[in-house]
Amino acid sequence: MTDDVRVTIEAVPRTGLTEQRLRQAVAEHPEALAALEVADPERLTVTFAPGLGHDPGDNAPFQATVFDPVGNRAVELRGTLDRPERAELRPSSFRPPPSREELVAAAAILRADPRFPAGDDVVVYRPMPPLADAENPDGTTVRRPTLGLYTPGEPTGLRHRIVAVDLAARSVDWTPAGINVRMHHDCEDSVPVGVDALADRGGPDQVRVRVHRGGTELWSLLVVRPRASAPQNPGVGGGVELRQVRYRGRLVLRQAHVPILNVEYEEGTTFRDMVNAETRFSATGSDPVGWGWRLCTSSPRTILERPGTDAGNFQGVAFHHDGEQLRIVSELEAGWYRYASDWRLADDGEILPRFGFAATRNPMTCLVHRHHCYWRLDFDVEGAGNDVVEQVDDTGSLIPEPVTIIRETSRRRRPPARYWQVRDKASGRGLQIHPGPFDGTADAYGISDLWFLRHHPRELDDGDPDPRNRAMINRFLNGENINGANVVVWYAGHYFHDQAHPQPHQGELIGPRLVPI
């Protein structure tokens, strides 16, 4: 870090309902307890419910999923933070991924099973999919977290097994239906860490970060940890989330995150990955606001920079300024997948959203597959509203000729389109969106490459309504006028992974360049 650059971090509380307050509201909401057929609200799973909107106040709207792990049922509450006990009740099909506590309890049941393999080198890890619920004859379902077994010394060559554990019955299903994996494959190099090695050591959920060069404040923004990132409750997070991003005092982005992350295999298997599960990586420096936030003296190293290892000395969000830009990075896990959620904020105002892809040893990633990563960029240039979206085509002219996009639509990254831009209509300031060289273009599963939408507070993800987990952002396209409106852009990157033919791009970060106008 150069002498004249100063990065400061301070903890900032979030606006929303604490777990205790939400549980109290459910206890005072007889319709919710009746719908879940639960008498004791203490057995329910609830998490922090953030206020919705740009700058939520004490009476901001919220939505929260309340889940009963015993009955494997959920309801959604929609109300306001000041009166949550009067919230509207809706049925919900959302099933939260297993918590670390569930996985540790499931691992204890698995190890006690007489069929558990012998050997000190056996690793119990988090696989994909995270759940293998079973349906009873009466239509009820049983929640069953999955666990992966890595047995490198197995004489039959069956190095990976995926089992389902019924916590209530304390039983193990060694051949759960619907788990489509090639157990004899042993892909990648990094041995996965066990499920009991990823304890969360606390720390604040969000911080304010400022970058000063001399007496000039270059950047000011809120950063939310993946574990607390939107969309949550319901939702599976958005990686490292940025909010209220200001460059030289001017607002450029209200919110930026990755709410949708899909994997598509050519043989047909698909996953919707979690983007809120933090895992370990290497970061050296100080923790100015406590565990989970590290200001680094050298560049942090995720599994992408340290291939062959799934270990590290830090879990959370790391910051490092290299003299020209601030890097903000965290490493995430979704089963055996490992992701780098990465942002670069350059001193000249350029923003580089980045996402990287890796994995620990597993039975699947040797097969050809694609990762589809969807950034949601809420552009509030100079403030909410009065923004315009323009497409700049390659017309052969030396002077760009922007064409205004009037209504909500989607676009592919293909000629003649060169780039897009979002500007404030009054000042002309804004950001250009230049596609990254490795971002690809969508296949039928990936749907599209960009969406231009009018802002709505609840449209934080697509709700995952598709049985194959495809991104259903098109459901938001309803012809609304976006000329002079509050604009949200979804930008998709499509990463192709074929270990047999690793060209032209393997193991690198994808993402666009956001260039200031």
- Under the banding of pLDDT at 50, 70 and 90, the label for residue 1 is very low
Of 186 and 292, the structure prediction assigns the larger pLDDT to: 292
Nearest to 208 by CA among 357, 9, 389: 9
Beta-carbon count within 10 A of 397 CB: 8
Q: What is the pLDDT of residue 388?
A: 96
State mean pLDDT over 199-228: 95
The residue that leads in pLDDT, 466 or 505, is: 466
CA separation (Å) from 516 to 64, 381, 423, 428? 36, 10, 10, 11
Name, in order, each residue with C-beta under 8 angstroms of 396's C-beta and a sequence gap of 6 or more.
Answer: none
* CA torsion through residues 446, 451, 453, 457, sign: positive
pLDDT-based confidence at residue 502 (cuts at 50, 70, 90):
low
Residue 30 in tokens: 């007889």
Q: How far apart are CA 491 and CA 117, in angstroms?
A: 45
Task: Please check whether residue 504 is in contact with residue 341, taking contact to mean a CB–CB distance below 8 angstroms.
Answer: no
Check whether 399 has a pLDDT greater than 90.
no
Tokens of 430: 């804004």
- Rounded to an integer, what distance in angstroms lies between the CA atom of residue 462 and that of residue 410? 15
Q: For residue 269, give the amino acid letter.
A: T
Q: What is the pTM of this model?
A: 0.95
Q: Which of 278, 238, 290 is nearest to 260 (CA)?
A: 238
Residue-averaged pLDDT of the chain: 93
Instruction: Annotate 228-245 with DSSP letters as a single string.
Output: GPSSBSSSB--SSEEEEE
Tell me the residue ranges of DSSP E strands in 322-465: 325-334, 337-346, 351-359, 369-379, 387-393, 402-405, 409-411, 417-424, 430-434, 450-454
Residue 400 confidence (pLDDT): 82
Q: What is the mean pLDDT of residues 263-270?
A: 94
Cα–Cα distance between 275 and 67 in angstroms, integer? 20
Please state the φ and ψ torsions of residue 452, each to the nearest 5 degrees: -120, 115
Mention every residue, 6+ apart, whose C-beta is less than 8 A from residue 8. 209, 210, 212, 288
Please state, in angstroms and rounded to a whole number, the distance separating the CA atoms of residues 321 and 219.
12
Q: Tell whether the model's pLDDT for residue 169 goes beyond 50.
A: yes
Lowest mean pLDDT among 239-248, 432-441, 496-505: 496-505
Q: Tell me how far the alpha carbon of residue 424 is from its chain's centroid.
A: 28
